[in-house]
Amino acid sequence: MSSQLCCDVTDVALSQLLRVLSVSRCVYKVRAGCQPAELWRKMLHLGVTLLLLTAAAAGPSGSAAPPLRGPGLGFSPAVSASSASAPPLLLLPQPREEYGAPGVALARSAAEEAAGPGEEEDGGEHQHHGGGFRVVQWEWSYVQTPYIIAIWLLVASVAKILFHFSQRFTTVVPESCMLILLGLVLGGVVLIANKKQLYQLEPALFFLFLLPTIVGDAGYFMPARLFFDNLGAILTYAVVGTLWNAFCTGFCLYAAKLLGVIDERVQAELMDFLLFGALISAVDPVAVLAVFEEVHVNDTLFIIVFGESLVNDAVTVVLYKVYISFVEVGAENVQTADYFKGVASFLIVSIGGTLVGLVFAVILGFITRFTKKVRIIEPLFVFLLVYLAYLTAELFSLSAILSMTFCGIGANKYVEANISQKSRTTVKYTMKTLASIAETIIFIFLGISAVDKSKWAWDTGLVSCTLVFILVFRAMGVIGQTWVLNRFRLVPLDKIDQVVMSYGGLRGAVAFALVVLLDGEQVKAKDYFVATTIVVVFFTVMFQGLTIKPLVKWLKVPRSTNRKPTINEEIHERAFDHILTAVEDIAGLQGYHHWRDKWEQFDKNYLSKLLLRKSVYRKSELWEAYQKINIRDAISVIDQGGNVLTSARLSLPSMASRASFPEVTNVTNYLRENGSGVCLDLQAIDNVPGAKVEEDTETHHVLAENLYKPRRRYQSHYSRHFMPLGEKERQDREVFQRNMKSRMETFKSSRHKRHKKERSLKKRRGSDAKEDGSDKPRRNVSWQDKNPVVVPVESEEEKAEHSDPEKEDDVGITFVARKAETPKQRPQSVPAALDGRQSPSAGPASPPTEDSHLPWKGSVGSPPPCVSVEATKIIPVDLQQAWNQSISSLESISSPPVPAEPVHPRVSALSRLGGPRPASYTPPGSVVGSTSSIGAQVAQGTFSFSEPKKEEEEEEDEEEQEMRPLMTSQRPPGFLPPPPPPPGSAPGPGRRSNPCVYLRSLVTAPPPGSSEPHSRGPTQL
Amino acid sequence: MGSSSSNMNNIPDGQQLLQETGFSAAHIVRLYERFEFLDKDNTGHLRPEDLETVPDLDKNPIGARIIGAFFPPGKETLDFGSFVRILAHFRPADSNRARDGAQQEPANSTTGKLRFAFQLYDQDGDGKISRDELLQVLRSMLGLQVTEEQLQCIAERAIQEADADKDDAISFDEFRKSLEKVDIDHKMSISFLR
Q: Using alpha carbons, list the distances in angstroms from residue A775 to A664, A779, A904.
A: 20, 6, 13
pLDDT at residue A165 greater than cutoff 50: yes
Give ∠ CA B188-B191-B194 in degrees, rounded to 5. 150
| pLDDT > 50? residue A885 | yes
Contact A793, A906 (CB under 8 A): no
In the DSSP assignment, the letter for residue B128 is E
Residue A210 three-state SS: helix
pLDDT of residue A468: 92
**Burial state string for A307-322 with b = 16 or more CB within 10 A and e = fewer than 16:** bbbbbbbbbbbbbbbb
- Are A569 and B181 in contact by the 8 Å Cβ rule? The answer is yes
Q: What's the rounded mean pLDDT across residues A482-486? A: 89
Q: What is the pLDDT of residue B192?
A: 66
DSSP A879-935: HHHHHHHHHHHHHHHHSSPPPSS---HHHHHHHHHTTT-HHHHHHHHHHHTTT-HHH
* Residue A222: pLDDT over 70: yes
Tell me: pLDDT of A909 over 60.
no
Question: Percent helix, strand and coil across chain B, each rounded to 5?
Answer: 55, 5, 40
- List beta partners, residue B171: B128
Residues of chain A with Cβ-Cβ distance to B168 below 8 Å are 690
The Cα of A693 is separated from the nearest Cα of chain B by a number of Å equal to 13
Ranked by mean pLDDT, which of A59-73, A180-194, A782-796, B92-106 comes out on top?
A180-194
Distance from the B74 Cα atom to the nearest Cα atom in chain A, whole angstroms:
21
Q: What was the pLDDT predicted at A895?
A: 44
CA distances to A365, A582, B80 from B56, in Å = 28, 8, 22
Q: Give, as one character, the DSSP assignment of residue A73.
A: S
Q: How confident is the model at residue A744 (pLDDT cuts 50, 70, 90)?
A: low
Q: Please indicate whether residue A303 or residue A921 has the higher confidence score (pLDDT).
A: A303
Is A1000 a residue whose pLDDT tops 50? no
Sequence-separated contacts (24+) of A692-701 with Cβ below 8 Å: A692/A965, A693/A746, A693/A748, A693/A965, A695/A965, A695/A969, A696/A748, A696/A964, A696/A965, A696/A968, A696/A969, A696/A1010, A697/A745, A697/A748, A699/A1010, A699/A1012, A699/A1013, A700/A745, A700/A748, A700/A824, A700/A827, A700/A1010, A701/A677
User: Which of B83, B113, B131, B146 best probes binding to A when mutated, by most A CB atoms within 10 angstroms?
Assistant: B146
Contact B157 A740 (CB under 8 A): no
Pick from A105-114, A446-455, A797-806 the range whose average pLDDT is largest. A446-455
pLDDT at A360 over 90: yes
CB contact under 8 A, B56 and A594: yes
Burial string for A366-380 (b: 16+ CB within 10 Å, else e) reads ebbbebbeebeebbe
Check pLDDT > 50 for residue A937: no
- For residue A683, give the chain B residue with the closest CA: B161
**Between chain A and chain B, how many beta carbons pairs sit less than 8 Å apart?**
171
The answer to whether residue A868 scores a pLDDT higher than 70 is no
Out of A475-484, A996-1005, B123-132, which region has the weakest mean confidence (pLDDT)?
A996-1005
DSSP labels, A721-772: SSSPPPHHHHHHHHHHHHHHHHHHHHHT-----THHHHHHHHHH-HHHHHHH
Give the least confident one: A234-248, A925-939, B46-60, B119-133. A925-939
A911-918's contacts with Cβ under 8 Å and 24+ in sequence apart are A912/A791, A912/A844, A913/A791, A915/A989, A916/A987, A916/A988, A916/A989, A917/A847, A917/A986, A917/A987, A917/A995, A918/A942, A918/A987, A918/A989, A918/A995
Q: Tell me chain A's radius of gyration from C-alpha atoms.
A: 36
Residue A481's pLDDT band, with cuts at 50, 70 and 90, is very high
Contacts of B63 in chain A (CB under 8 A): 578, 582
Here the contacts of B27-30 (C-beta below 8 Å, separation 24 or greater) are B27/B192, B27/B193, B27/B194, B28/B84, B29/B1, B30/B1, B30/B192, B30/B193
Instruction: Kindly report which listed range (A192-201, A358-367, A524-533, A666-675) carries the lowest average pLDDT score.
Output: A666-675
Buried b (16+ CB within 10 A) or exposed e, A879-908: bbbbbbbbbbbbbbbbbbbbbeebeebbeb
Least CB–CB distance from B31: residue in A587, A623, A683? A587
Mean of pLDDT values over A583-611: 80
Query: Cβ separation of B60 and A572 shorter than 8 Å?
Result: no
β-bridge partners, A297: A559
User: For residues A977 and A518, what is the distance between their CA atoms, to the nearest angstrom?
Assistant: 95
Q: Are A586 and B61 a contacting pair at CB < 8 A?
A: no
Provide the pLDDT confidence category of residue A736 given band limits of 50, 70 and 90: low
Which region among A354-368, A393-407, A748-762, A846-860 has the lowest average model confidence (pLDDT)? A846-860
- Would you say residue B117 has pLDDT above 50? yes
Structure confidence at residue B43 as a pLDDT band (50, 70, 90): confident
> What is the pLDDT at residue B10?
67
Q: A346-360, A541-555, A882-896: lowest mean pLDDT where?
A: A882-896
The Cα-based distances of A752 to A115, A779, A805, A832, A997 in angstroms read 79, 19, 20, 16, 24
In terms of Cα–Cα distance, which of A426, A1, A581 is closest to B190?
A: A581
- Residue A293 pLDDT > 70: yes
Which one is predicted more confidently, A432 or A197? A432
Query: Binning pLDDT at 50, 70 and 90, where does residue B84 land?
Result: confident
Mean per-residue pLDDT, A230-254: 91
Q: Sorting pLDDT into bands at 50, 70 and 90, what band is A570?
A: confident
Calculate how close chain A gets to B179, using CA atoms only, in Å. Answer: 6
User: What is the model's pLDDT at position B25?
Assistant: 77
Comparing A356 with A262, the larger pLDDT belongs to A356
Query: Does position A974 have pLDDT exceeding 60, yes or no?
Result: no
* Torsions phi, psi for A546 (to 5 deg): -75, -35
> Which amino acid, residue A502?
S
Distance CA A242, CA A857 (A): 84
DSSP state, residue A239: I
From residue A766, give the alpha-carbon distance in Å to each of A712, A719, A769: 22, 11, 5
DSSP of A598-629:
HHHHHIIIIIHHHHS-HHHHTS-HHHHHHHHH
Q: How far is A884 from chain B (nearest CA, A)?
A: 19
Does residue A916 have a pLDDT over 70? no
For residue A542, pLDDT over 80 is answered with yes
**End-to-end alpha-carbon separation of chain B, Å?**
10
A362-367: long-range pairs with CB below 8 Å, 24+: A362/A410, A362/A411, A362/A610, A362/A611, A364/A407, A364/A411, A364/A414, A364/A415, A365/A410, A365/A411, A365/A414, A365/A415, A365/A418, A365/A610, A365/A611, A365/A612, A366/A610, A366/A611
CA distances from A798 to A274, A719, A810 (A): 74, 18, 20
Q: Taking CB atoms and an 8 Å limit, are A622 and B189 in contact across chains?
A: no
* Residue A518 Cα to chain centre, angstroms: 38
What distance in Å separates residue A580's CA from the closest CA in chain B?
7
Closest chain A C-alpha to B102 CA, distance in angstroms: 26
Helix (H, G, I), strand (E, B) or coil at B27: helix
Would you say A368 and A418 are in contact if contact means Cβ atoms under 8 Å apart?
yes
Q: Is A89 exposed, middle or buried (CB count within 10 Å of its CB: 0-12, 13-18, 19+)?
A: buried
* Mean residue pLDDT across chain A: 64
Q: Which helix (H) or strand (E) holds A30?
A: helix A25-34
pLDDT of A693 > 70? The answer is: no
Q: Do B150 and A626 touch (CB under 8 A)?
A: yes
Element (H, E) at B171: strand B169-171
Closest-approach residue (CA) in chain A for B56: A585
> What's the whole-number mean pLDDT along residues A47-54?
38
Could you give the CA distance from residue A790 to residue A759 in angstroms, rounded to a whole number?
A: 12
* Most A-contacting residue of B115, B156, B172 (CB-CB within 10 A), to test interface: B156
From CA A1012, how far away is CA A1017, in angstroms rounded? 9
Give the CA distances from residue A568 to residues A562, A624, A629, in Å, rounded to whole numbers and listed in that order.
17, 14, 11
In 3-state terms, what secondary structure has residue B78? strand
The pLDDT, as a whole number, for residue A941 is 41
Of A80-94, A305-319, B15-29, the range with the highest mean pLDDT is A305-319
Mean local confidence (pLDDT), A660-668: 37
B170 DSSP assignment: E
Separation CA A753–CA A774 (nearest Å): 24
Contacting residues of B for A618, CB less than 8 Å apart: 145
Asked if pLDDT for residue A388 goes beyond 70, the answer is: yes
Q: Which residues of chain A neighbour B59 with C-beta distances below 8 Å?
A: 601
Q: Centre a 10 Å sphere on the Cβ of residue A461 and count the other Cβ atoms it contains.
A: 17
| Cβ atoms B176, B109 nearer than 8 A | no
**pLDDT reading at A647 higher than 70:** no
Nearest to A568 among B55, B142, B161 (CB): B161
What confidence score (pLDDT) does residue A1019 get?
Answer: 39
Is residue A39's pLDDT more than 80? no
Residues 52-111 of B with CB under 8 A from A: 54-57, 59-63, 66-67, 70, 87, 90, 92, 95
Give the chain A residue whose CA is nearest to the CA of B159.
A568
For an interface test with A, which of B82, B84, B187 has the most A Cβ atoms less than 10 Å from its Cβ?
B187
Of the two residues A796 and B144, the one the predictor is more confident about is B144
| Tens digits of residue pLDDT in A308-350 | 998 888 888 888 888 888 888 877 777 788 888 888 888 898 8
A739 confidence band (pLDDT: 50, 70, 90): low
ipTM for the whole complex: 0.88
Q: What pLDDT, on the 0 to 100 scale, is given for residue A745?
A: 64
Tell me how close the Cα of B88 comes to any Cα of chain A, in angstroms: 11
Find the radius of gyration of the CA atoms of chain B: 18
Q: Predicted confidence band at A729 (pLDDT cuts at 50, 70, 90)?
A: low
Q: Is B192 on the interface with A (CB under 8 A)?
A: yes
The answer to whether B152 contacts A747, with C-beta atoms less than 8 Å apart, is yes
CA distance A915 to A919: 10
Please state, for a pLDDT cut of 90, what percent of chain A lies above it. 10
Write down the pTM of the prediction: 0.59
Average pLDDT over every residue of A397-413: 91
Look at chain A and count its residues. Answer: 1021
Residue count of chain B, please give it: 194
List all residues of chain B from 7 to 26 with a beta carbon under 8 Å from chain A. none
